[in-house]
Every structure is written in C-alpha cells, then in structure tokens.
C-alpha cells in the first residue's frame, strides 16, 4: 500500500493538522517526519480546540497507529505535557503511539543556546520559536546529539553531562551562562516517563506495515518556504519540510509515495523574520489577521499577513510534486469586496517574472496582482460544495489554471465538519 504525504506549501500554519484529522480515518498509520515542538497543529471538533506540537494528528482516532519518526526532534518535557492533556480529555494513546529510537532529543541546554544565539544576532534575528530546534539539529548534523534510544543506555547520564559541557562552552563564547539548573529536574522526570513508551526502530515498523498492506499518511510540519535548502534562507527552519524529508525522516523509500497533498491558505501568513513579497502592512493585513485569528499556536505571536502568492506556490508545488491542493481558511476572506492574487513579481530592474528569486532578490520584489470579485458570503454556513458562491468557485478555478493542480478540498471554518470536498 502507498504512503501519501501532506506538506505545507507556504511559510507554515496552513492548517495541516485539521486536514490530517479529516483524512486520518482513511489511513492505518499517521507518521510525523520532521520538526519538533516549534510546530503547532490545531484541530477543532465537537466544539473543542486541540493543539498538538509533537504528537501526530491521527492520535484522536483509536484505530490509527501514530508514529513519531526519526526526523523529529523531541522535547521530552513538552511531549509528556501533550500526552497528559490528551489523557485528561479521555484519549487513550498508550497502545497506538510509537516513537523512533533514532529521533533526536532536545535538551534544556539546547533551549538555552537557542535564546543565546538569537540574542547574539541583534537586529538580524531569524525569528526562532526558542524551542531549541536549531541547536538540536546542529548537534545531529555535527554527530554529537543524543537520541531517544540513548535514554535506555546505562551511561545516559554521562552522555548528557558531556553534551551540556559542550553547550556551556558555546554559551561562554557569547559571554553567557546556560542557566538550566531549574529545568533539569523536569527534564529527567520526563525522561523517566519517555522510557515507559513504545520506543522502537520505526523504520522497520513502517516498512513492515507497508508489507502488510497498510496505508500511511506522512505528516509534515512548518511549510515548504521554510525548508532548510529551498526556503527563504537563512530565515528558515532547520529540517527538510518538503516531500523528500518524509523519506529520510521516516526511513521509507521514494517508490512508496503516491499522493502528495499540498496545503495552502486562501491568503498568506508568516511568523518571524524574512522576506514576504505580498505582506500587507495596512488595515487590510490587520483585517485578515483578526478574521483569521492569526496568532501563533506555539508562540502566540501575531502572524504577518498578505495576499496569496502564486509564484511561491508554484515553486512549492514543483519541489513537492503536489497532486492535489487543499485550500484552507477561505472563510477568512468573506468580507472582502475584492480578492487580490499575486501572479508575478516585478524585480528591482523592472522585469516581470513568475519565478521565485533567491533570498537577496526577494527583498526587492513588487507583487503584480490580479483582482477578482469577493464572495461576500458567510462560508461557514455552507455545507454543500455545490452551494459555494460563484465568486469563490471562480477564485478556485483561477488558482487551478495558474497552478496546474486541482483543488480538491476547500475549508470554510475551523471545525472538521467545515471541510468541503470538491472531488
């Protein structure tokens, strides 16, 4: 059976968690393949909002196996908090949650280093969530990191102290102290909890399940424009957020991948620093922010808002081999008389392009817009795709024509029932 992959096509926060929740009942397995507690996947059903950071979004379905893959960086303390909240809400996760022994551990010293590094950047801050993600991936690539499987070794305490000593030296380079003493007790308590979970070689687990005919939904975090290689570098995350990351982050071969679901908002948002060609710094941007409740589910920071950007979307679609698009939060644009769509950029020398330039040129782009009429309809009241207003159907058709990929889902509200399947 195949592996289908779900990725964000913008700068994250596209609504991936909701779509995983909607699609999950048709899958046997949901597996997270990268990122860590810097992700915030929000799911709303039965009038209750749930926010997941490291736990796969299939966890609310008892028949689904949920896998935290080797490409994830795991904060044991945050992970325990997440699972406790699920327990408090009556979710029995113990039997269907598996964690890769090869996933990297986020240590308290990683979080401290993250803050120290960001402060050292001064006015050129990345916009880090300060969750320790970057320093953990640095240790992974530098071959000095600790993995989940290490907590089962008799010398884990010594390995931990060696890692903290290295991090202390890095902090001293910036004239800082790590100041992690108050967090270590909670960390080691969470490590004891982590030892009680189903820790396994998830690459074997997943491939065995595929041999048994099970189908897998690979769940990405962040968005393609934050990919470490292809995003708006250096204002990116520290992992591969595109489809290729599902192979390395889960230990599955490319031959298994079939569908690629690309998730995009009907507009654009971004958290943190970095170029954002269609950003709106006026009342329109604020109207979108308030209507869409665009505040980070992980950090609470207000998101930067702008119109949809087709050159950036085409780029992400190309990188991921997207087979269908799921258009999220269309209802946020309900009150607009006109909807703007960026189809091209004008460069600093006056040329038009529909390609996404490198980072240095992104700062000097002027978006070229096409205007379409708004629908001026309360979309949250629409339950039948055929009843969608003609203006929204025209908007979707415009996107399909220019992106050359079908839009198969339109989301018209936060609840899982506010999800309209067009095909």
Q: Is 42 annotated as a binding residue?
A: yes
Active site residue 140: yes
Q: Is 222 annotated as a binding residue?
A: yes
The catalytic position among 50, 102, 131, 140 is 140
Burial-class residue 48 by CB neighbours within 10 Å (0-12, 13-18, 19+): exposed
How many beta carbons lie within 10 A of that of residue 66, not counting itself? 22
Q: Is 299 annotated as a binding residue?
A: yes
Q: Is 301 annotated as a binding residue?
A: yes
Q: Is 129 annotated as a binding residue?
A: yes
Task: Write out 162-186 in H/E/C secondary structure.
Answer: HHHHHHHHHHHHCCCCCCCHHHHHH
Q: In sequence order, which residues have a C-beta less than 8 Å from that of residue 85 and are 6 or more positions away?
A: none
Type and span of the H or E element at 394? helix 390-403
Q: Is 330 annotated as a binding residue?
A: yes
The catalytic position among 13, 114, 139, 309 is 13
Task: Determine the Cα angle at 5 with ends 54 and 331, to 5°.
Answer: 80
Q: Is 176 annotated as a binding residue?
A: no
Q: Where are the alpha helices (DSSP H) in 262-380?
A: 283-291, 310-320, 359-362
Tell me the C-alpha distance between 83 and 91, whole Å: 9
Q: Is 244 annotated as a binding residue?
A: no
Q: Is 16 annotated as a binding residue?
A: yes
Active site residue 256: no
Active site residue 13: yes
* Per-position DSSP letters for 46-63, written without gaps between them: TTEEEEESSS-TTTTSTT
Tell me the C-alpha distance between 423 and 411, whole Å: 13
CA pseudo-torsion sign 205, 209, 211, 212: positive
User: Is residue 19 classed as helix, strand or coil in its secondary structure?
Assistant: helix
Q: Is 383 annotated as a binding residue?
A: no
The catalytic position among 4, 28, 41, 102 is 41
Q: Is 164 annotated as a binding residue?
A: no
Q: Is 237 annotated as a binding residue?
A: yes
Q: Is 63 annotated as a binding residue?
A: no
Q: Is 334 annotated as a binding residue?
A: no
User: Residues comprising the binding site?
Assistant: 12-18, 38-42, 129, 143, 222, 237, 297-303, 329-331, 411-413
User: Residues comprising the binding site for substrate?
Assistant: 297-303
The residues assigned a catalytic role are 13, 41, 140
User: Residues comprising the binding site for Mg(2+)?
Assistant: 13, 40
User: Residues comprising the binding site for IMP?
Assistant: 13-16, 38-41, 129, 143, 222, 237, 301
User: Residues comprising the binding site for GTP?
Assistant: 12-18, 40-42, 303, 329-331, 411-413
């Amino acid at each position: 059976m195949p592996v289908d992959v779900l990725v964000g096509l913008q700068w994250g926060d596209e609504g991936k968690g909701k779509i995983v929740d909607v699609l999950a009942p048709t899958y046997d397995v949901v597996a997270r393949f990268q990122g860590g507690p810097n992700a915030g996947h929000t799911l709303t059903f039965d009038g209750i909002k749930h926010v997941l950071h490291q736990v796969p979004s299939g966890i609310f379905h008892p028949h689904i196996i949920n896998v935290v893959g080797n490409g994830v960086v795991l904060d044991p303390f945050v992970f325990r908090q997440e699972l406790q909240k699920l327990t408090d809400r009556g979710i029995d996760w113990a039997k269907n949650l598996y964690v890769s022994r090869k996933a990297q551990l986020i240590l308290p010293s990683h979080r401290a280093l993250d803050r120290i590094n960001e402060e050292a950047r001064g006015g050129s801050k990345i916009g880090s969530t300060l969750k320790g993600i970057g320093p953990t991936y640095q240790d992974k690539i530098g071959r000095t990191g600790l993995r989940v499987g290490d907590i089962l070794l008799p010398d884990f305490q010594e390995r931990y102290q060696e890692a903290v000593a290295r991090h202390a030296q890095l902090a001293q380079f910036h004239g800082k102290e790590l100041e992690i003493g108050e967090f270590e007790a909670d960390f080691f308590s969470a490590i004891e909890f982590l030892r009680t979970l189903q820790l396994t070689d998830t690459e074997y687990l997943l491939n065995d399940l595929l041999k048994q005919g099970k189908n897998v939904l690979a769940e990405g975090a962040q968005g393609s424009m934050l990919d470490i290689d292809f995003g708006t570098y250096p204002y990116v995350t520290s992992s591969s957020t595109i489809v290729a990351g599902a192979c390395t982050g889960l230990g599955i071969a490319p031959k298994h991948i079939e569908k690629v679901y690309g998730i995009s908002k009907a507009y654009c948002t971004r958290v943190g620093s970095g170029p954002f060609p269609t950003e709106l710094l006026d009342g329109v941007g604020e109207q979108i922010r308030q209507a869409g409740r665009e505040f980070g589910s992980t950090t609470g920071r207000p998101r930067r808002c702008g119109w949809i950007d087709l050159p950036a979307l085409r780029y992400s679609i190309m990188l991921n081999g997207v087979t269908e698009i799921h258009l999220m939060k269309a209802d946020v644009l309900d009150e607009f008389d006109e909807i703007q769509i960026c189809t091209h950029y004008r460069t600093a020398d006056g040329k038009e392009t529909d390609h996404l330039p490198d980072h240095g040129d992104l700062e000097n782009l002027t978006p070229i817009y096409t205007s379409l009429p708004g629908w001026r309809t309360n979309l949250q009241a629409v339950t039948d795709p055929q009843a969608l207003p003609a203006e929204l159907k025209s908007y979707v058709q415009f996107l399909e024509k220019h992106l050359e990929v079908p839009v198969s889902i339109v989301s018209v509200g936060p609840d899982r029932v506010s999800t309209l399947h067009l095909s």
